[in-house]
Structure 1
Amino acid sequence: MEITPFPFPSHPQDDPEQVEDPSKFYALFDDNSDHFYELANPFKRLCEVHGEAVMPLKEDSDWVMDSSFFLDEEQSYGQGPAGEDELEVVSAPARTNKRARPSSSLPVSPGAEASGSGHQQQQQQQRRLWVKDRSKDWWERCNHPDFPEEEFRRCFRMSRATFDLICQELDPVVTKKNTTLRDAIPVRQRVAVCVWRLATGEPLRLVSKRFGLGISTCHKLVLEVCLAIKNVLMPKFLNWPEGERMKAIKDELEMKWGIPNVGGAMYTTHVPIIAPKENSAAYLNRRHTERNGKTCYSVTVQGVVDPKGVFTDVCIGWPGSMPDDLVLENSALYKRASQGLLRDVWVVGNSGYPLMDWVLVPYTYPNLTWGQHAFNEKVGEIGAVAKEAFARLKGRWSCLQKRTEIKLQDLPVVLGACCVLHNVCEMRNEGIDPELRFELFDDEMIPDSNGIRSMSAAQARDHIAHNLLHHGLPGTFP
């Protein structure tokens, strides 16, 4: 919230023409609602005296106003011309430097106040205010039942049936009530704004024009819907497998790659961000900076997936300077494993993770045996399932591919919503266009001591490598 000065002269009560000792008029701009509110009276008197229109400085403004900028609370509201909504406050884009000034054609009439109370009442009746009528044609076409299914899928990265399911699940949380000033934005449009923003990564100003809503309204909708996805859909579509579901995952992975008791594959990726104002060094991604030749800041997203590429666990938001093993040690997954909740389960990772009692990683030292080569090949194929899942995640939700404008404190919720929506699409067999395929470039840093944290795990890994070689499984011989 910011106080913005407006340099309008104050008009003394006895003579509206006097402009001596000019004072500043202040209006209050609310970033969350895009509304201006009155804090001082001089400009109100100016409008009452002249009854003239007051226009924005720039022609491309998203808001217009006349002397009714300061309506009395008891005034009634109706329908404006051409179907525009007549409201109490002025809707504006999310810009704090927006200013208004009286039109250059405003004459100063010496007898303006001499007309008496009847003239003031007439001016008060003529004061009106309308919000700019933005076009919603594009969204109305998309929301029409006759809109082509393939085009809908290309726009929102999912079929209409999956989109309807998400809207139905979120309806109790996202629905808003109508007010006396305007009707609430429908649930489908709210969800569509969020999904489109995540899918395309378009700037909010373009999302605003596409859906016919204010810029700050679109920003607010994205955060609200992402939070609803986290609270409503995440418990249903993103959770650690237990019981029969875990057994089915183990059986499927062993059938494909011959390694028993594997409950998932793990991978960590980076999402670029704008350098934060505080503690920016912690978010500096040196590996990406050195490879790309330009400074890169990021946050990490660690995830475990099942054989179909569905996320079963995610850890989001640790600074990009942290290596993969340190991100793992700070995750809830690590805490559950430390409490003995992952017994008889292997999570396969790449060489950036340490070898532990529940984390299975490839051999990293030189001069490997035939069995160790075979083991690395199989572990690499399982790990590729996780990497491919992250590639589809970033390909489907393009907002993860470039530096995001979202505030750092809101980013975990948005990234978590992307993971949940990814799961919904994967579970419902929503394919992804080949043109959206994204190549991941995440460097692996081998932990100290070859990443061995448990000697019993090292022995178990040797035993698995021996069995892979001597059982003659396909693809285990170089």
Structure 2
Amino acid sequence: MEISSSPFLSQEDCSHFYSLFQDMEENFNVNANPKKRQRKDDDVSDKEETTKTALRDILTSIILLDEQENQEREQERWVMETQQDKSLFEANHEQKIQATTEYYSQLQNHYADVDNLDTVRTKRARRSTSASTAAAAVAAGNAGSNSPPQQHHRRLWVKDRSKDWWDQHNHPDFPDEEFRRAFRMSKATFSMICDELESVVTKKNTMLRDAIPVRQRVAVCVWRLATGEPLRLVSKRFGLGISTCHKLVLEVCTAIRNVLMPKYVQWPDENRMRVIKDEFKSVSGIPNVGGSMYTTHVPIIAPKVNVAAYFNKRHTERNQKSSYSITVQGVVDPKGVFTDVCIGWPGSMPDDEVLENSALSQRVQMGLLKDVWVVGNSGYPLTDWVLVPYAHQNLTWCQHAFNEKTLEVQKVAKDAFARLKRRWSCLQKRTEVKLQELPMVLGACCVLHNICEMRNEEIDPELKFELFDDEMVAENGLRSASSIQARDQIAHDLLHHGQAGTRYS
């Protein structure tokens, strides 16, 4: 509301005051004695000035009082109008709140009525279906044994999709070579996996739909891991819904982790460890080597929570593109079969910290690894059980020869991870799996890798992938004085026993 100030009185409005005072002065001058006027001219002039000054002061006071009264009147009027507007606004606000509350209440009642109606309809449909089934059973019983059986057609709550691609690959006459190229394993290995998982993966048929067969369930998961195709393409190949394919992948991966991982990924016993040590010694000449260790990174979509922990700085700087990943640490035997895996630590964590937080390190602290070396690269620290190459400059002949032998052992683990990512292409790019479900999928890939390696499944030569992980020297690379002496002794023995041959490229 705009407020205007009271205007001052103009000179024209006050002119009648001046004329009145002038007439009073003239009458006073006419009635005065001329002689006294002549004798007292000076006194009269002074009195006239005083009188005029007093009259001006009186006039100014009157004007100011009038102005103040007008301002107070305007302020009272503004306050009254403001209070009226406020009252009107509050009344309108209360009406709107009441109307909104009534509308919301009516909407809730409407939804409740709709839910009740749907419940009634569902119950009626179930009753009619049960009645139809019972009537069909009675009719079939009354027809007698000579009459042909009547088939009951179910109403399936599924969309009719084409399954020609899967039916073709699942046919017994389908060539084994093409099946291996598609699923990264032979038909015999695939059937073995299905038999192992059948008790866990099998679902029962219902009145309204038939359960998906075990072979198709396992095939959806294996195909998804092998090709890394989007779920919409997997859905078209197998004639299933997108959400159904996603659910099948997680269910089968969970079954592989719970059923097959304890059987196919396990730390060697004493007899098996003795064989592994002999095989590694024949390759490198280093005694008591029980495994080759390597850590790789699997790319992921930037998570919404704790994103900085998964930021891979080294990959980002190398590729000039923001990279987020999780780590997979594995120990393999001379054939490239995983004997221990540690999955799921953030990509910003260096290799030595991943090792410290792994179950393998806890197994060592419990005293379960005695007289066993696990060979790793310079990203790991030198400890009483981890053997790494020399990382300083100006190596001696003996130290250089030792590094060459450790590289031969390290190559076993690196080649195993390369085959892992070549065989299961889902590990080469960011997947649609959630971060909390990704370790389960990666664990399933490691288990399937071991099964294929144990059964000598060959990889298609057309599948090519170059494994590259940024190697960083551990900040505290020397953790034990006794391990330093042990490494020096091994290097000395290799050189003086004629087993430290070197190569130049």
**TM-score interval, smaller chain:** 0.7 to 0.9
State the partner residue of 1:468: 494
Residues 26 and 294 (structure 1 numbering): CA distance in 2 closer, same or farther, change over 3 Å? farther
Given candidates 425, 433, 436, the residue that maps to 2:463 is 436
Specify which of 434, 444, 449 is matched with residue 417 of structure 1. 444
Q: Which residue of 2 aligns with 1:426?
A: 453
Match of 1:391 in 2: 418
Whether the 8 Å CA contact 1:85–1:131 is kept in 2: the answer is no
1:147 to 2:174 alignment: yes
Contact in 2 for aligned 1:393/1:422 (Cα 8 Å): yes
1:230 aligned residue? 257
Q: CA deviation at 1:150?
A: 0.9
1:145-173 per-residue CA deviation (whole Å, 9 max, x = no partner) reads: 01111110011000000001000111111
Q: Deviations over 1:36-73 (max 9, x none)?
A: xx97639979xxxxxxxxxxxxxxxxxxxxxx999733
Structure 2 CA distance for aligned equivalents of residues 146 and 24 of structure 1 = 61
What TM-score comes out, normalization by structure 2 length? 0.72
Aligned with residue 344 of structure 2, among 317, 332, 336: 317
Closer, same or farther: CA 339–212 of 1 in aligned 2, 3 Å: same
1:472 maps to amino acid: G
Q: Following the alignment from structure 1 to structure 2, what is the Cα–Cα distance between the partners of residues 175 and 467?
A: 57
Report 1:5-20 matches (<5 A): none
**CA spacing shift, 1:352–1:40, aligned 2, 3 Å:** farther
Q: Where does 1:332-347 land on structure 2 (aligned, <5 Å)?
A: 332-347=359-374
CA–CA separation in structure 2 for the residues paired with 1:375 and 1:39: 77
In structure 1, the residue matched to 2:207 is: 180
SS at match of 1:466: helix
| 398 and 459 in structure 1: CA distance in 2 versus 1, 3 angstrom threshold | same
Unaligned stretches of 5+ residues in structure 2: 1-103, 134-151
Q: Please name the residue that 2:22 is paired with.
A: none
Equivalent AA in structure 1 for residue 418 of structure 2: A
Counterpart among 272, 297, 307 of residue 270 in structure 1: 297
Q: Which residue of 1 aligns with 2:114?
A: 41
Residue in structure 2 matching 1:86, options 155, 172, 186: 155
Asked whether the equivalents of residues 421 and 428 of structure 2 are also in contact (C-alpha less than 8 Å), the reply is: yes
Q: Distance in 1 between matches of 2:263 and 2:367?
A: 24
Please state how far the C-alpha of 1:438 moved relative to its aligned partner.
Answer: 1.5
Tell me the amino acid that sits aligned with residue 493 of structure 2: N
| Alpha-carbon offset, residue 245 of structure 1 | 0.4
Q: Distance in 1 between matches of 2:358 and 2:446?
A: 16
Deviation at 1:352, TM superposition (A): 0.4
AA matched with 1:210: R
Residue 224 of structure 1: CA displacement? 0.7
**Are 1:289 and 2:316 counterparts?**
yes
Correspondence for 1:258 among 285, 303, 313? 285
- 1:434 is displaced (CA, Å) by 2.0
Q: Distance in 2 between matches of 1:391 and 1:260?
A: 26
State the shift of 1:76 in Å. Answer: 1.7
The structure that is strand-richer by fraction is: 1
Deviation string, structure 1 residues 274-293 (Cα, Å, up to 9, x no partner): 11111011000011111111
Deviations 1:106-163 (A, max 9, x none): xxxxxxxxxxxxxxxxxxxxxxxx5320111111111100111111001100000000
Which is further off, 310-319 or 208-217? 208-217
Q: Aligned residues: percent identity?
A: 72
> SS state of the match for residue 158, structure 2?
coil
Residue 129 (structure 2) aligned to one of 73, 76, 83: 76
Bigger-Rg structure (1/2): 2
Deviations, residues 400-420 of structure 1 (Å, cap 9, x unaligned): 000111111111111000000
Moved more, 70-79 or 416-425: 70-79
- Report the alpha carbon displacement of residue 448 of structure 1 after superposing the two structures with TM: 1.7
**1:44·1:70 contact (CA, 8 Å) conserved in 2?**
no
* Superposition CA RMSD, Å: 2.7
CA 1:477–1:134: 2 relative to 1, 3 Å = closer
Q: Partners in 1 of 2:393 and 2:367 — Cα distance? A: 33
Which of 70-79 and 233-242 deviates more? Answer: 70-79
Q: Which amino acid aligns with 2:496?
A: H
Distance 1:226 1:142 in 2: 22
* TM-score between both structures, scaled by the size of structure 1: 0.75
1:363–1:376 contact (8 Å) kept in structure 2: yes
Work out the CA distance in 1 between the residues paired with 2:296 and 2:374: 17
Q: Secondary structure at the match of 1:267?
A: strand
Unaligned runs of 5+ in 1: 1-20, 28-37, 46-67, 88-129
Q: Given the superposition, is the C-alpha separation of residues 325 and 76 from structure 1 closer, same or farther in structure 2, using an over 3 Å criterion?
A: same
User: 8 Å contact 1:136–1:210 — kept in the other structure?
Assistant: yes
2:192 to 124, 146, 165: 165
Aligned to 1:192: 219
Pick closer, same or farther for the CA change 1:369–1:143 going to 2, 3 Å.
Answer: same
Letter of the structure 1 residue corresponding to residue 114 of structure 2: N
Q: Residues 208 and 214 of structure 1 are in contact (CA less than 8 Å); yes or no, is this contact kept in structure 2?
A: yes
Q: Which residue is equivalent to 2:266? A: 239
CA contact (8 A) 1:153 1:159 kept: yes
CA distance in 2, matches of 1:365, 1:41: 76
Structure 1 position 447 matched with structure 2 position 500: no
Residue 58 (structure 1) aligns with: none
Name the aligned partner's letter for residue 212 of structure 2.
I
**Code of the aligned partner of 1:431:** E
* C-alpha distance in 1 between matches for 2:421 and 2:153: 40
Q: Does 1:381 align with 2:401?
A: no
* Count, aligned residues: 382
Contact 1:469 1:477 in 2 (8 A): no
Q: Deviations over 1:232-261 (max 9, x none)?
A: 111111100011100000000101110000
